[in-house]
Amino acid sequence: MAWTMQRDRFYYRSDDISPDELPTDREVKTTVVHRLRENPYTQDCRIKVSVTDGVVHLDGRVTTPEAKAVAADDAWSIPGVFDVSNSLEISRAA
């Protein structure tokens, strides 16, 4: 069952998608990077994204605590994401 949050973004539980419909790690990474680039909170930040077995790893620097939270929210909103490791650092010189 999906529900809507943040301007028509859908959040999924892991059992909402059948295993044969799950996106690959590469597809998940591409979608996360695209979302971070289009989001005004994160578009100018230096964020490195990697995905391993459906777990998104966020590394790098952001300028505000809000940007850090938004980056994780964007990653969680992607179908096929089972966990998010948010290691982003907050600094003014992102």
The overall pTM is greater than 0.85: no
- Residue at 80 is within a domain: yes
In a domain, 81, yes or no: yes
Pick 19 or 13 by higher pLDDT.
19
> pLDDT tens across 21-74, in order?
889 999 999 999 999 999 999 999 999 999 999 999 999 999 999 999 999 999
What per-residue confidence (pLDDT) applies to 21? 81
In a domain, 78, yes or no: yes
Evaluate whether residue 19 is within a structural domain: no
Domains of the chain: total: 1
Q: Which CATH number do you get for residue 48?
A: 3.30.1340.30
With respect to residue 32, please indicate whether it lies within any of the assigned structural domains. yes
pLDDT at 79: 87
- Does residue 5 form part of some domain? no
Residue 2 has pLDDT above 90, yes or no: no
Asked if residue 37 is part of any domain, the answer here is: yes
Category of 59 on φ-ψ map: left (φ > 0), alpha (ψ -120 to 50) or beta: beta
For the segment 8-28, the average pLDDT, to the nearest whole number, is 74
